[in-house]
Amino acid sequence: MAEAPRGRVLICAGSDSGGGAGIQADIKAVTALGGFAMTAITALTAQDTRGVHGVVGVAPDFIRLQIRVVLEDLGADCIKTGMLADSATIEAVCDALGAHAPGVPVVADPVMVAKGGHPLLAPEAVATLRARLLPVARIITPNIPEAEALSGVAIADVAGMHRAAEALLRMGVQAVLLKGGHGTGETLTDLLATPEGTEAFESSRLATRHTHGTGCTLASALACGLAQGMGLRDAVVRARAYVRAAMLAAPGFGTGHGPLGHGVTVDPARIAGLA
């Protein structure tokens, strides 16, 4: 019997009504890279490019149900987590994944604050995130403020990023992709840290307001690569390249932090040829 095609990504995250981040960005990124996206929605947000205007949580039992039915029927090659707003949500997701997806790699994006500054994780849930989600993740993808909160290490420069990444590894995290977008200067540095060593990826900073959903998009693109059987480093390299291309292809919508052009990989000429 032929091996089933890979590339199935189950995304456990919140919804963004503006379409730029959250579940919407996750689905777009996975689809654009040739994967198949499935979802367990953990929260609903009323959100646009200017910020988050309201949040409604999803009952933990219903989150568990979404995860169970998807995994029992379709299965998954990788799990991606995003907004898990409180301890009950984190517990529900981790319990369900432990029961129905043992051994499936998890890409954990520890979403704490929206681009516009609205908190998306209850302060008391940080300890639960450390205790339950971080130990089971194949890789976590914090930005600088998230890495500071999780590691307890202040980050003022790339050297601080190295110290924070090392602290997270000492906490038992398997791998860290520490994103440098919140840093300063014209060069942006991301760090991929594993017990085998740390590699820095540098790129020139883009002068653009279209940065909404970059973290969600990067984590989902990385999860898609792992789901398709790519090695960790190769998946990181492709995910970073995709995010940059999507930023350059931003459609220009909204008056705040605009969305990315997730469809940058789609060839309109090829679609037209099918008509």
pLDDT tens digit string along 198-228? 999 999 999 899 999 999 999 999 999 999 9
Among 33-42, 94-103, 181-190, whose mean pLDDT is lowest?
181-190
- pLDDT, position 4: 56
pLDDT reading at 250 higher than 60: yes
- pLDDT, position 113: 73
Mean of pLDDT values over 54-76? 97
- pLDDT, position 267: 80
- pLDDT, position 128: 92
**What is the residue extent of each domain of the chain?**
8-206+213-252
pLDDT reading at 5 higher than 70: no
Q: Which CATH class is domain 8-206+213-252?
A: alpha beta
The token duo for 67 is 């995860």
- pLDDT, position 39: 98
pLDDT reading at 1 higher than 60: no
Q: What is the pTM of this model?
A: 0.93
Q: Could you please report the per-residue DSSP string of the chain?
A: -PPPPP-EEEEEEEEETTSSSHHHHHHHHHHHTT-EEEEEEEEEEEEETTEEEEEEEPPHHHHHHHHHHHHHHT--SEEEE----SHHHHHHHHHHHHHH-TT--EEE----B-TTS-B-S-GGGHHHIIIIIGGG-SEE--BHHHHHHHH----SSHHHHHHHHHHHHHTT-S-EEEB-TTS-SSEEEEEEEETTEEEEEEEEPP--S--BTHHHHHHHHHHHHHHTT--HHHHHHHHHHHHHHHHHT----SSSSPBP-GGGG--HHHHHTT-
pLDDT reading at 115 higher than 80: no
Using pLDDT thresholds of 50, 70 and 90, give the confidence band for residue 93: very high
- pLDDT, position 96: 97
- pLDDT, position 3: 57
Q: Which residues are known to be catalytic?
A: 179, 211, 213-216
pLDDT reading at 274 higher than 90: no
176-189: pLDDT as tens digits = 999 998 877 888 99
120-169: pLDDT as tens digits = 777 888 889 999 999 999 999 999 999 998 999 999 999 999 999 999 99
Q: Average pLDDT, whole number, for the chain?
A: 92
Length reported for the chain: 275
Mean of pLDDT values over 67-88? 96
